[in-house]
Amino acid sequence: MPNWMHNPISHEAGGPAATGKPAAYAWEGDGTQHVVYKGADNQIHELWFKKGGRNPKWTYGGALSTIAGAPPAAGDPHGFSWEGDGTQHVVYKGADNEIHELWFKAGGNNPKWQYGGAISQKAGAPAAAGDPYGFTWEDDHTMHVIYRGAEGNVHELWFTKDGGGQWKYGGAINSTTASPAVAGDVAGFVWEHDHSQHIIYRGTDNDIHELWFTKGMRGGEWKRGGAINGKAGGSVAASDPMGFAWEADHTQHVIYRTPENQIGELWFTKSAGGQWKNGGAISAKTGAPLADGMPWGYSWEADKTMHIVYRGQDRQVHELWFIKGITGGSWKYGAAINRIAGAPAADSDPVGFAWEGDGSQHVVYRGADNVVHELWFKK
């Protein structure tokens, strides 16, 4: 029976010690997976893994910010791939409170990381107070970066190859939609089935607020989804939320930590009357331990499952999972997966993703040893 496995990947690859929370993503078109993190030197470091070969292993890609001639980081980075463009991107906040971009395009004689500049400054956007979050909208051929400004607004930067190759400023979108100010970092995702993109955040009222935008929508304006936890009868938030789409199920999901240190879930499907539903305290329902920090969720489309990972008050990495059509429509507790794999306790919140091309799922976090640890599972 397959089980979770462990790799101390920054140590294995010869990368420096980590600070903060790493970011991780798969680049399906390149057959690779990537982890980026801030080191004690405030540079952005990369670890990468290529599928196939005789002895596949993690490789240290270097200090990307140094390689590209970019300034040091003042916060945790976020990375993502743009499959339609054949590129990968890393964004972070610098000491100047601008959002900086690093990017890499496969192919060519000597591909290397490039510095895209202070994209917030280039686009005429305000300075940042929080860490940025980036994602691509493949159906729209665009990429997006969102962040919290010093005045508590949600700011958007967006890029399309058809727009002259320049980042554009989408405005303070919570302000334009008359939505409340932001209390923490923001998150976003695309729901390809619905041709829409979504931003979620914890407001100063501790409610979970949604902003949404549909491709081809008249006026091309962001819309206010409101306090979706309040609409659904869910708890207020004690952490920043995280959201993702489950394309195989035609649903979207938002998760967060409640004041009772449970994992709360909100979910939405157009076939259920177009209203957000309250999944409740799913950690309590499954008998999972209490949470600390911010949970992370993702779908594994090929496996028809969705997963939530979080750091418990015991500093272990716990997993909740849900499989379509088999488990009676309920979440299951998968256990402390770092213990199963023989990995150390966590000193950062974990992040996870599915690598569809490899038929595997991955969770990374920083341990107390400041090593970036990977947990992985393959059926």
- Inform me whether the pLDDT recorded for 16 exceeds 60: yes
- The answer for residues whose C-beta is within 8 angstroms of residue 41's C-beta and 6 or more apart is 16, 63, 72
- Inform me whether the pLDDT recorded for 218 exceeds 60: no
- Inform me whether the pLDDT recorded for 217 exceeds 60: no
Judged on CB neighbours under 10 Å (0-12, 13-18, 19+), 60 is: middle
Q: How far apart, in Å, are the Cα atoms of 173 and each of 154, 316, 328?
A: 6, 37, 39
- Inform me whether the pLDDT recorded for 78 exceeds 70: yes
For 234, the token pair is: 């869910």
- Inform me whether the pLDDT recorded for 42 exceeds 90: yes
Give residue-wise pLDDT tens across range 90-117.
Answer: 999 999 999 999 999 987 667 899 999 9
Question: What pLDDT does 356 receive?
Answer: 97
Give residue-wise pLDDT tens across range 145-157.
Answer: 999 999 999 999 9
Mean pLDDT of 130-137: 97
Expressed as residue numbers, the domain containing 260 is: 5-378
Question: What pLDDT does 33 receive?
Answer: 97
Specify the long-range contacts of residues 76-79, CB closer than 8 Å, at least 24 apart. Answer: 76/20, 76/21, 76/22, 76/23, 76/37, 76/38, 76/131, 77/23, 77/36, 77/37, 77/38, 77/44, 77/131, 78/23, 78/131, 78/132, 78/133, 78/134, 79/23, 79/24, 79/25, 79/34, 79/36, 79/134
Total domain count for the chain? 1
Lowest mean pLDDT among 7-11, 110-114, 203-207, 234-238: 110-114
Average pLDDT of the chain is: 94
Sheet holding 187-191, edge to edge: 187-191, 196-202, 208-214, 223-227
Q: What is the CATH number of the domain that holds 256?
A: 2.120.10.70
Question: What pLDDT does 66 receive?
Answer: 97
Question: What pLDDT does 328 receive?
Answer: 62
Question: What pLDDT does 271 receive?
Answer: 79
Q: Which residue has the tokens 């499907």?
A: 269
As a whole number of angstroms, the distance between CA 203 and CA 206 comes to 5
- Inform me whether the pLDDT recorded for 1 exceeds 70: no
Question: What pLDDT does 17 receive?
Answer: 98
